[in-house]
Amino acid sequence: MPPIGDLLWTTLAAFLTFCIFSFLYKDNPFYKFAEHLVVGVSAGYFAMLLWYEGLIPKLYVPILKEGKLYYLIPGILGLLMWTRFSRKWAWISRYPIAVYVGIGTGVAIPLEMQTKVVRQLSASMTAISLNNATGINNLLVVIGVFCALVYFFFSKEHKGAFGGIARFGIWTLMIGFGAGFGLTVMGRVSLLIDRVKFLAETWWPMFKAFVGAVF
């Protein structure tokens, strides 16, 4: 007979899995219970994570134990954000939000430019050759990128040869979107397969052994 503790936790996990699957039939209280439980547990977990991984090591320890008083500045800015809940003092929250957005934008823009523009451009500038599969693939990449960019050129009417290039650009975009959607579906199907395997190979044999041992 399996340990009672393992059986209880595994059965709870199976019950919550069935609660989520019940939404395939229709919306019901079991699904709402599992959904609210996930949201509540996630909120509590991230609140504790923020406290122990954020406030304690990055505010409490530097100020009170290491004497780094300049850490009071971000602490005060963080507290000022709470004035958002007061009609009288809500305007004060604009200052810390402006600082936060400004710093975040300054950090994000160079990173986004590097990862989504510069690297994409460098990846498109590849060696073209008809002697091997890699060279042909690089040629198709360059043609696809060029045609996709032509599609977004709206200063000229999409007619004639220009329109044909733009239509090929649409096909290229649709192939890319389809591949991305397929990858997303594959990820979700993998999660479904994992839960079905859990029910069939972990929970059911354990539950069956327990029932057989008891009765």
Q: Per-residue pLDDT tens, the chain, 215 aa: give them.
A: 778 888 899 999 999 999 999 999 989 999 999 999 999 999 999 999 999 998 899 999 999 888 889 999 989 999 999 999 988 899 999 999 999 999 999 999 999 888 888 887 887 777 777 778 888 888 888 888 889 989 998 888 888 888 999 999 999 999 999 999 999 999 999 999 999 999 999 999 999 888 888 87
Q: Could you give the percent of the chain with pLDDT greater than 70?
A: 100
Give the whole-angstrom CA distance, residue 46 versus residue 57: 16
Q: Give the type of residue at 181.
A: F
Give me 190's structure tokens: 């993998």
Give the whole-angstrom CA distance, residue 78 versus residue 143: 50
pLDDT of residue 142: 87
Place of tokens 């591949």: 179
pLDDT of residue 5: 84
Cα angle at 96 between 92 and 99, to 5 degrees?
135
pLDDT digits (tens, 9 = 90+) for 94-147: 999 999 999 999 999 999 888 888 887 887 777 777 778 888 888 888 888 889
Give me 17's structure tokens: 């899995």
pTM of this structure: 0.68
pLDDT of residue 126: 75
pLDDT of residue 115: 85
pLDDT of residue 199: 93
pLDDT of residue 212: 84
What are the φ and ψ backbone dihedral angles of 148, each rounded to 5 degrees?
Answer: -65, -40
Where is 137: in which H helix or E strand?
helix 133-151
pLDDT of residue 28: 93
